[in-house]
Amino acid sequence: MPLVTSKEMLLKAQEGGYAVGAFNAENMEMVKAIIQAAEELKAPVMIQTTPSTIKYGTVDTYAAIVAAEAKKASVPVCLHLDHGSSFELAMQAIHAGYTSVMIDGSKLDFEANIAETKRVADVANALDIPCEAELGKVGGKEDDLEAEADTNTDPQEAKEFVERTGVTSLAVAIGTAHGFYVGTPVLDKERLSEICEVVDIPLVLHGASGLSDEDVSDCVKRGICKVNFATELRAAYSKAVKEFLEEKPDTIDPKAYGKTAIAAVKELVMARMKVCGCDGKAE
């Protein structure tokens, strides 16, 4: 089917008490793997690209690839700009055919974040495109954004932020980090519950790669409606290619190890979808 926006799928997740899996893709093979997983599990799915991925390709390239693969699918597929770094990039993504965007002003102070976020949300809302934002700082590194320490989201600030910006979903900081964890993460789940009590739009969990199934599931039960996975997909893809070439070093056809990588990513995506509880939720 044609690409859909994230609005309906996230509202259904909010009502149904599950989360939509949102998976970052770097190339055609990863896009195929993610959609194949969604098809097999009958799950709605969001495919994401970050600014560095877009720099590697372009918004037009990724929009064309995802739209072509989604057209063949029977489940809803949304193409989302992850960690949009500027108003201009968000507009480029919308123009290219992205059906959801994020503007990440978390590196700014509270008022500046509101101003930058509202600027994108106003245009997106006028075009019926959902807009995600982030309040608080998720630790670790994502693209060119790096937080040295976590600054968890304040519930009352979250309420004010949503009311003043008009965003349709909000990524919150509760102790997660981008990339793989060095130690065992300690999540402030009570804070998540408090945010959920005062914010009525779908909440998003970033930095889920490396979290235990139990932590992800508990966050979903407490109100998370979208869970982002990126680093572990890259790791699974790269590991599969390396192992293939170690076994068959004379291989020169990229399609050969590409198929192996697709299978590895698909398996991981299916496992994460089941943890999010979105399997079987596509109509």
Binding residues for dihydroxyacetone phosphate: 179, 207-209, 228-231
| Residues contacting residue 182 through CB under 8 Å, at least 6 positions apart | none
Token pair 């020169």: residue: 252
Number of H helices, E strands in the chain: 11, 11
Contact 187, 219 (CB under 8 A): yes
| Residues contacting residue 8 through CB under 8 Å, at least 6 positions apart | 76
CB atoms inside a 10 Å sphere around CB 163: 12
β-pair type (139-142, 145-147): antiparallel
**What would the two tokens of residue 1 be?**
């089917």
Of 73, 71, 126, 120, which is closest to residue 93 (Cα–Cα)? 120
Of 60, 82, 128, 218, which one is the catalytic site residue?
82
Contact 83, 102 (CB under 8 A): yes
**What would the two tokens of residue 249 be?**
């070093």
CA-based angle 10:81:29, to the nearest 5? 95
Q: Is 128 annotated in the active site?
A: no
| Residues contacting residue 199 through CB under 8 Å, at least 6 positions apart | 155, 158, 159, 162, 170
β-pair type (100-103, 131-135): parallel
State the Cα–Cα distance between residues 77 and 83, nearest whole angstrom. Answer: 19
Which residues are part of a known binding site for Zn(2+)? 83, 104, 134, 178, 206
Catalytic residue numbers read 82
